[in-house]
Structure 1
Amino acid sequence: MKLEALYKGCTYHIYNRGINGCAIFNNEDNKKYFLKLFDKYLSDIVKVYAYCLMDNHFHLLINVNEEEKKVVQAFSNLFNAYAKAFNKYTERTGSLFEKHFKRINVTDEDYIKRLIVYIHLNPKHHFDLDFEDFMFSSYKAFISEKETKLERDYVLELFGDRDNFIFVHNERSEFIEQQYLLE
Structure 2
Amino acid sequence: MKLEVLEKDGYYHIYNRGINGCLIFENDENKKFFLKQFSKYLLGKISIFGYCLMDNHFHLVIRLNDDEKIVTQAFSNFFNSYAKAFNKDIDRTGSLFEKHFKRIRLSDEVYLKQLILYVHLNPKHHLGFDFKEYKFSSYQAFISDKETKIEREEVLRLFGGLENFIFCHNQRKDFLTEKHTFE
Counterparts in 2 of 1:84-103, with a 5 A limit? 84-103=84-103
Structure 2 residue matching 1:49: 3-state secondary structure: strand
Which residue is equivalent to 2:162? Answer: 162
State yes or no: 1:47 paired with 2:38. Answer: no
State the 1:175 CA deviation. 1.2
Deviation string 1:78-105 (CA, Å, 9 cap, x unpaired) is 1000000000111111000000000011
The structural deviation recorded for 1:177 is: 1.4
For 2:171, what is the secondary structure of its paired residue? helix
1-structure distance, mates of 2:94, 2:9: 34
Q: 1:171 — aligned with what?
A: 171
Scaled by the length of structure 1, the TM-score of the pair is 0.98
Distance in 2 (CA, whole Å) between partners of 1:39 and 1:80 is 14
SS of 1:30's equivalent? helix
Residues 3-22 of structure 1 aligned to structure 2 (within 5 Å): 3-22=3-22
Aligned partner of 1:180: which letter?
A: H
How far did 1:121 drift?
0.2
Q: Distance in 1 between matches of 2:175 and 2:129?
A: 14
Matched residues in 2 for 1:72 and 1:2: separation? Answer: 15
* Structure 1 residues 42-89: Cα deviation after superposition (integer angstroms, max 9, x where no partner): 011000000000000000000000001100010001100000000011
State the 4+ residue runs in structure 1 displaced beyond 4 angstroms: none
- The AA in structure 2 aligned to 1:175 is F
**Amino acid of the residue matched to residue 167 of structure 1?**
F
CA displacement at 1:181 relative to structure 2: 2.3
- Let me know the Cα RMSD of the aligned residues: 0.7
TM-score (norm 2): 0.98
The residue identity in structure 2 corresponding to 1:68 is E
- Aligned equivalents of 1:180, 1:2: Cα separation in 2: 33
Specify the alignment match of 1:115 in structure 2: 115
Distance in 2 (alpha carbons) for counterparts of 1:177 and 1:7: 36
Query: Identity over the aligned pairs, expressed in percent?
Result: 63
Tell me the alpha carbon deviations over residues 122-168 of structure 1, each in whole angstroms, 9 at most, x when there is no partner: 00000110000000000000000111110001100110000000000
User: Take 2:103 and 2:120, find their aligned partners in 1: how far apart are those partners?
Assistant: 18
Query: Matched residues in 1 for 2:45 and 2:107: separation?
Result: 19
**What residue is the counterpart of 1:76 in the other structure?**
76
User: How many angstroms apart in 2 are the aligned matches of 1:176 and 1:133?
Assistant: 17
